[in-house]
Amino acid sequence: MKTFDPTDFIPGVSLDCVIFGFDGSRLNVLLLRLRGFDEWALPGGFIKTDEHGDDAALRVLKERTGVSDLFLQQFKTFTHPDRTKVHVQELLRKGIIDENAREYFTSRFISLGYYALTNHNIVKPAPDYLSEECAWHPLDAVPELLYDHRAILEEALEEVRLDLQYHPVGQNLLPKKFTMPELQALYEAILDKELDRRNFSRRVMSYGIVEKLDEHRTGMAHKAPRLYKFKKSAYEKALKDGLSNRW
């Protein structure tokens, strides 16, 4: 593995990714456990000297998940001057960081917060060079996090919920073909609230972003639910221009 070279990156700026994965019933967030730490951390990284922040985030996401087609959104930049102070000394003390990178890591960092939405099942979690574990954690059982990562996570979740009010969600979280109950379960997981099955379906159809297929999901007990798929162009138009109604 290539060692970390601080001169490849712009100093004092990091990015942290809140990666949400939907497993069919719950939202999960992908976390790393650093070597020698009990606390977990958000997957993050740095921006190369000639790299766009969004590209850096995509690079990090690809490295941690193996997935490159996911929904990515920058939502806030965290700039508290002491935001990493609590743990950075511990990081150095434990000798996790190369000698040549000590100065780079010691400085104050501001961090670009991104959130990503992806399908839990297509992700192959891969630790980075600082960590020994990379794993999903359900939102209601998030362990202690390093730095200000808990706050970043909370704000990301709020942001997802807000974005949901105006923009379609599902493209990167569900299989190509999905049932209405599956889509509803996703919305319920994000909003953490139950929705009426019948009103939900009416609303979704009114947006014109999904298309009924002449197929059903069979193999399960009970009535076989119909399959739908997103209408690519309408979905993307709605991503850009927004939806008229809210949840």
Partner DNA sequence: ATATATTGTGTTTAATTGACACATCAATTA
Partner DNA sequence: TAATTGATGTGTCAATTAAACACAATATAT
- The residue ranges that bind DNA (CB under 7 A) are 179-181, 196-199, 201, 203, 206, 216, 218-226, 245-246
- Phi then psi for residue 68, to 5 deg, are -115, -15
Which lies closer to its own copies via its Cβ, residue 106 or residue 226? 106
Cβ atoms < 10 Å from Cβ of 222: 5
Which lies closer to its own copies via its Cβ, residue 159 or residue 188? 159
- Judged by beta carbon distances under 5 to 8 A according to partner kind, the member of its own copies, DNA, none in contact with residue 74 is its own copies
Least Cβ distance, residue 52 to its own copies (angstroms): 6
Three-state SS string across 116-136, please? EEEEHHHCCCCCCCCEEEEEE
Residue among 153, 125, 120, 131 nearest 45 (CA): 131
d(CA 57, CA 62): 9
Least Cβ distance, residue 245 to DNA (angstroms): 4
- Judged by beta carbon distances under 5 to 8 A according to partner kind, the member of DNA, its own copies, none in contact with residue 52 is its own copies
Could you say which residues in the range 92-121 bind its own copies, by CB under 8 A?
108, 110, 112
Chosen residue from 6, 24, 36, 53 binding its own copies by CB under 8 A: 53
Q: Which range of residues in 25-33, 73-81, 92-100, 225-233 is near its own copies by CB under 8 A?
A: 73-81
d(CA 82, CA 110): 10
Least Cβ distance, residue 10 to its own copies (angstroms): 5
> Residue 79 is encoded by which pair of tokens?
């700039």
- Judged by beta carbon distances under 5 to 8 A according to partner kind, the member of its own copies, DNA, none in contact with residue 196 is DNA
176-210 exposure pattern, b = at least 16 Cβ within 10 A, e = fewer: eebbbebbbbbbbbbeeeeeeeeebbebbeeeebb
Least Cβ distance, residue 74 to its own copies (angstroms): 7
Least Cβ distance, residue 155 to its own copies (angstroms): 11
Instruction: Tell me: does residue 81 bind its own copies (CB under 8 A).
Output: yes
- Judged by beta carbon distances under 5 to 8 A according to partner kind, the member of DNA, its own copies, none in contact with residue 1 is none
Instruction: Tell me: does residue 54 bind its own copies (CB under 8 A).
Output: yes
Residues in contact with 134: Cβ distance below 8 Å, sequence separation at least 6, in sequence order: 30, 31, 32, 33, 43, 64, 125, 126, 127, 128
Helical H segments across 83-179, by residue range:
85-93, 102-106, 149-166
Cβ atoms < 10 Å from Cβ of 89: 11
Q: Are 107 and 82 in contact (CB under 8 A)?
A: no
Instruction: Tell me: does residue 49 bind its own copies (CB under 8 A).
Output: yes
Residues forming contacts to its own copies in the complex (CB under 8 A) are: 10-13, 47, 49-54, 74, 76-77, 79-81, 108, 110, 112, 162, 166, 246
